[in-house]
Amino acid sequence: MTSPLSMASELYIGLMSGTSADAIDAVLVDFSEQPLAVLASHSLPLDRTTRAAIKNLTQPGTNEIDRLGMLDHRLGNLFARAVNELLQEAQVEPSAVAAIGSHGQTLRHRPPGVLEYPFSLQVGDPNIIAQQTGITTVADFRRRDLAAGGQGAPLVPAFHQAIFRSTERDRAIVNVGGIANVTWLPTEGETIGFDTGPGNGLMDAWINQIQGKPYDDQGQWAASGEVNAALLARLLAHSYFRQPPPKSTGPEDFHYQWLTDQIAQLDEEVAPEDVQATLLILTAQTIAASVEALQGETGAEIYLCGGGAYNQRLREALTALLPNNPVEDTGALGLAPEWIEATAFAWLARQTQHGLPGNLPSVTGASEALVLGAIYPGMGKVR
């Protein structure tokens, strides 16, 4: 059972492994501070075998159930390891933590309108996390929103609203992970949020295939190429970009094979660096178009988070496309860009523990605001 100390504690841990599938991010957050304080952070890189297992399960294949079950167990162990290493580095006992919020690793996200029966599947067994850490674990955040007719994503805008909303100026929080999404925080009115399309995912996949690198540092390779107008037009023709919000997407739609299929249909060869330059502009243009559609005549403040916040070339492209919008990263608001999503799931775990809603119907399209997630009690652990 959850101990009285844990229930009284305002320490929560957030776990996040995004569509890039490069590492598990873990943060220890103190919500007794206003608005919160990140006390410690830890990143556990995922090994090549695990990354490959994740990538292979994002698309249909053979023997899926066995492979899924084994990956669920493997990632449960890795999430638990990330928590225990975080606590060891922070010198905090598990009994001092109220709960862990674990997003899990998304393998498939099929929101309403894609299949007859929508679903969102995350793995990383929370039973294993709770057992190996001794800490109550909250997981499976997306499916309750789906049950209420929502997209099940994005969920982080509710956290953005709670932490970053200003009464003085409209703001847009732009998360550039594997998939990019925007949260519109007006000074008045409802928060809006949705996935804009590819973030780093296609750029990472392309440079990894061509150069064997995990990502394009600062966008330097993209900067060495030129945008191919024909390829950009083909990529922008994807039907997702014409869908109105609420909407969400993932690597099921924007993946390496889709990219190579578009390249193959061109009448001319495209230099690898030109493909990278085109992918960067695809990300920048779809983000900028989303912001433009949301804002009025006064340029909103834009704050970047996720790994893409450190892509200097992408930041320059966004600044050029949105000349009336000051572009910074969330570090200017007190939270480092790389820890935003993990912190959001610590916040979502706290919402669940306190019986408070974790979704925003104006973002996901759900019929109502709901308490999200399933709770797996921690039984305590002697370290």
For residues 151 and 172, give the distance between their C-alpha atoms in angstroms, rounded to a whole number: 20
Terminal CA-CA length for the chain: 18
For the cut 70, the answer to whether the pLDDT of residue 4 exceeds it is no
Other CB atoms within 10 Å distance of the CB of residue 212: 7
φ/ψ (deg, to 5) at 256: -60, -40
H-helix or E-strand spanning residue 138: strand 137-139
- Domains of the chain with bracketed CATH: 4-152+339-376 (3.30.420.40), 156-325 (3.30.420.40)
Per-residue pLDDT of 249-265, as tens digits, reads: 999 899 999 999 999 99
Q: In the structure, what pLDDT confidence band is assigned to residue 20 with cuts at 50, 70 and 90?
A: confident
For the cut 90, the answer to whether the pLDDT of residue 379 exceeds it is no
Instruction: Tell me what the pLDDT averaged over the chain comes to.
Output: 94
Helices (H), the chain: 4-8, 48-57, 64-90, 126-133, 142-147, 156-164, 201-211, 220-223, 229-236, 256-264, 272-294, 312-321, 340-353, 361-364
pLDDT at 2: 41
pLDDT at 296: 77
| Nearest residue to 363 via CA among 163, 152, 122, 148 | 152
For residues 268 and 229, give the distance between their C-alpha atoms in angstroms, rounded to a whole number: 12
State how beta strands 137-139 and 99-110 pair.
Answer: parallel
Structure tokens at 311: 């892509």
State the average pLDDT over residues 139-150. 98
What letter does residue 299 receive in the DSSP assignment?
Answer: P
Q: What is the pTM of this model?
A: 0.93
pLDDT at 94: 97
User: Cα–Cα distances in Å, from 82 out to 128, 174, 323?
Assistant: 12, 26, 41
Per-residue pLDDT of 80-106, as tens digits, reads: 999 999 999 999 999 999 999 999 999
